[in-house]
Structure 1
Amino acid sequence: MAERWKIRPEGSNWGAFGADDQRGRLNLLTPAVVRRAVQEVVEGRVFCLSLPLDLPGKNVLNPRRFPPRIEYSMRGDDPVINYPVGLVNPGQADVVCDDKVTLSTQYSTQWDSLAHIGSVFDAQDTGKPQVVYYNGFRANEDVRGPFDYLDGRKPQDGPYGLRALGIENMAAAGVQGRGVMLDLFAHFGDTWRAIGYDDVMRVIEADKLEILHGDILCVRTGFDRVLIGCAGDPPPGVASSVGVGLDGSDERLLRWIDDAGIAAIACDNEGVEILPCVTPSKHGSHFPLHEHCLFKLGIHLGEMFHLSDLADWLRAHQRSAFLLTAPPLRLPGAAGSPVTPIATV
């Protein structure tokens, strides 16, 4: 830890879980916390919290992310689709289908790894800021790309990729705990609005939410149903015109996220926080909630979860908590991953 950083960002918890920690607040998902979460299962009913992974559709929400492309595997010159294996006589063979997929890991329902957002920060206290990530892991050493952008786009030797903070660390942690639904849609509807600390406290009080250390906060805005309603053809600007999001520029809200001991945050919108940020210059970041959670605190963020059906059921049954099981793909070196979360009530 002393070698990786000498000073840490104000408000961060670097080192709290050890010098080499790569799990962040998922360390709060202790056996006792998981046992507590299992106690929320009363009926044994299961909700799938993933959108179909070909939604939102096209690349309207993010021009760099595209829908998954599924292709058949090949066996020589033959596509392995309805492929007969060991054909001796007609009607006497096994038939195989085999395929492969190319996808953007953060296109649809997904988790951000702790390497998704870093910051330019002088962790070595040399007077020369560097690109660093949660717990002081460094660009060009632990997260290596083809260029050093702070050094005039200087080329870097390979191999490239994440040597630390990849999504596989989250997968190995299991990601099973007590989910708590913060149903913003039920109180504010789908009008565009930045939700700050006062708004969140009002919802917590009105819905009598109990948020405990190690809980996974699930934020319902209703945007998941907007995406489903678009049927794979979302109009330009849909993400910035419909639905609410957390106000990352609200310092009190950021402090509350820290003080509440939240293990992770999952939301049904594109970015958890409202984008564009209300006052980005105040923080020096265009994504202040991402910076606060991923970079400073090691709180993983989930986006485009399908929460509305579960939220409606919970409200109808006067409940807010449930067992959430949501490990990402164990894909070493990935900055994010699709996920098929399951809520059990």
Structure 2
Amino acid sequence: MESKNVPEVAELLEDSPKNWGKWGSDDEVGSLNYLTQAEVLRGVASVRSGKTFTLQIQMGHPKGDPVWPGRSQARRINVMDKGHYMCGKGPLFPGLAEYADDMMIMYLQGSTQYDALGHVWYDDQLWNGYDAKSTIGGLDKASVLPIAERGVVGRGVLIDMARHRGKDVLDPGETFTHEDLLAAAKAQGVSIEKRDILVIRTGWIGSFYERDQAKFYENFVEPGLTHSRELVDWFHKMEIPNLVTDTIANEVTVDPVSGVALPLHNALMRNLGVTLTEIAQLDPLAADCAEDGQWSFLYTAAPLKVVGGSGAPVNPVVVK
């Protein structure tokens, strides 16, 4: 599709539903408001064995870290180690204890991370109608901080689209809809329930470590959900608080019908307040779910409390 035929996001989403004002004019966490104490207890009730899984990718991996094209990968730098003491430059403490210290330079969205609700917008308005000018110099409204202060706890359900389609990893640009999710859930013997934290595996992030990086990023188009009014209405009706995937952007990079890049970031996050969690490592969890047949669990997460941040790293913990 030629760019001249691609509609603006505002046109594509002209009649798309919004949750603006539903939780007040000052709300900054959106659909996470659905995760009431009752929903937390529903998540706790899904715990059976006590097995735990962490979903963050490793930071500073020897093979590199998967990041959105154009972003730099995380760099860890030693600032103090045994070498400093060997050359006589290490600080001396009473008792002669020595230590190592280091720092990391990275994009806040350069690892497994939560998007702030104000991360993406159109028509100069963020989630809940906040002015886009409030992002200048840091997000004054709808930053990642309110999400981090609140935390995310509820019943999670894993839908393994790659396994459902008989693949280790979905193909570049391969799409699926909410109807595909429901079909996969039925095949897995699990139900997607109202207010579930929806976790979707494509195999994409796991495949990063098995591929040549140049080939991984070549003509970069990720697999993922594709936009439709029906899909957005389904998220709205199901009151999905949080979408978690093992891709860098949670949706197919360019919508194959409209040609718009990442329309669900606006339709779901900006308009409905659905929190997006990206770059999750879901392969070990999926393998265990396939083995024991339990696809629902307690999902917990809290991104770092970055003041004004458009996102922040996170290491979600799942308890089965």
| Same fold, TM-score > 0.5, yes or no | yes
Q: Determine the C-alpha separation between the residues in 2 that align with 1:232 and 1:310.
A: 24
More strand by share: 1
Q: Determine the C-alpha separation between the residues in 1 that align with 2:215 and 2:57.
A: 14
Instruction: State whether structure 2 residue 226 is matched by structure 1 residue 247.
Output: yes
Contact 1:114 1:295 in 2 (8 A): yes
Instruction: Read off the aligned partner of 1:166 and give its amino acid letter.
Output: S
- For residues 18-57 of structure 1, the aligned pairs below 5 Å read 18-54=24-60
Go from structure 1 to structure 2 and tell me whether the alpha carbon gap of 1:53 and 1:59 turns closer, same or farther (over 3 Å shift).
Answer: closer
Q: Which residue of 2 aligns with 1:148?
A: none
Residue 266 of structure 1: CA displacement? Answer: 0.3
Go from structure 1 to structure 2 and tell me whether the alpha carbon gap of 1:61 and 1:173 turns closer, same or farther (over 3 Å shift).
Answer: closer
1:237 to 218, 231, 234: 218
Instruction: Read off the aligned partner of 2:251 and give its amino acid letter.
Output: E
**Structure 1, gaps ≥5 residues long:** 1-7, 121-130, 145-159
Deviations 1:155-201 (A, max 9, x none): xxxxx211111111111111111110011011122342210233223
Go from structure 1 to structure 2 and tell me whether the alpha carbon gap of 1:339 and 1:116 turns closer, same or farther (over 3 Å shift).
Answer: same
Q: Secondary structure at the match of 2:209?
A: helix
Contact 2:68 2:248 in 1 (8 A): no
Q: Which residue of 1 aligns with 2:247?
A: 269
More helix by share: 2
Q: Secondary structure at the match of 2:318?
A: strand
- For residues 36-185 of structure 1, the aligned pairs below 5 Å read 36-54=42-60, 62-73=68-79, 83-87=90-94, 92-120=95-123, 131-140=124-133, 142-144=134-136, 160-185=137-162
Aligned-residue CA RMSD (Å): 2.6
Q: Determine the C-alpha separation between the residues in 2 that align with 1:319 and 1:251.
A: 31
1:314 to 289, 295, 309: 289
Q: Secondary structure at the match of 1:286?
A: coil
Q: Secondary structure at the match of 2:107?
A: coil
Identity %: 29
Go from structure 1 to structure 2 and tell me whether the alpha carbon gap of 1:236 and 1:42 turns closer, same or farther (over 3 Å shift).
Answer: same
Residue 239 of structure 1: CA displacement? Answer: 4.7
Q: Determine the C-alpha separation between the residues in 2 that align with 1:113 and 1:184.
A: 26
Residue 60 of structure 1: CA displacement? Answer: 7.8
Which structure has the greater CA radius of gyration? 1
* Stretches of 4+ aligned residues off by more than 6 angstroms: none
Deviations 1:192-234 (A, max 9, x none): 2210233223213222322233221000111122012238676
Go from structure 1 to structure 2 and tell me whether the alpha carbon gap of 1:309 and 1:185 turns closer, same or farther (over 3 Å shift).
Answer: same
**Structure 2, gaps ≥5 residues long:** 1-13
Contact 1:9 1:296 in 2 (8 A): no
Deviations 1:311-338 (A, max 9, x none): 1211211111011111110111110111
Q: Determine the C-alpha separation between the residues in 2 that align with 1:312 and 1:195.
A: 21
Count of residue correspondences:
299
Q: Determine the C-alpha separation between the residues in 1 that align with 2:177 and 2:111.
A: 25
More deviation in 256-265 or 201-210? 201-210
TM-score (normalised: structure 1): 0.79
Contact 1:54 1:108 in 2 (8 A): no
Q: Determine the C-alpha separation between the residues in 1 that align with 2:118 and 2:106.
A: 19
Go from structure 1 to structure 2 and tell me whether the alpha carbon gap of 1:238 and 1:230 turns closer, same or farther (over 3 Å shift).
Answer: farther
Instruction: State whether structure 2 residue 18 is matched by structure 1 residue 12.
Output: yes
More deviation in 290-299 or 181-190? 181-190
Contact 2:66 2:205 in 1 (8 A): no
Contact 1:83 1:97 in 2 (8 A): no
Instruction: Read off the aligned partner of 2:117 and give its amino acid letter.
Output: L
Residue 55 of structure 1: CA displacement? Answer: 5.4
Instruction: Read off the aligned partner of 1:180 and give its amino acid letter.
Output: V
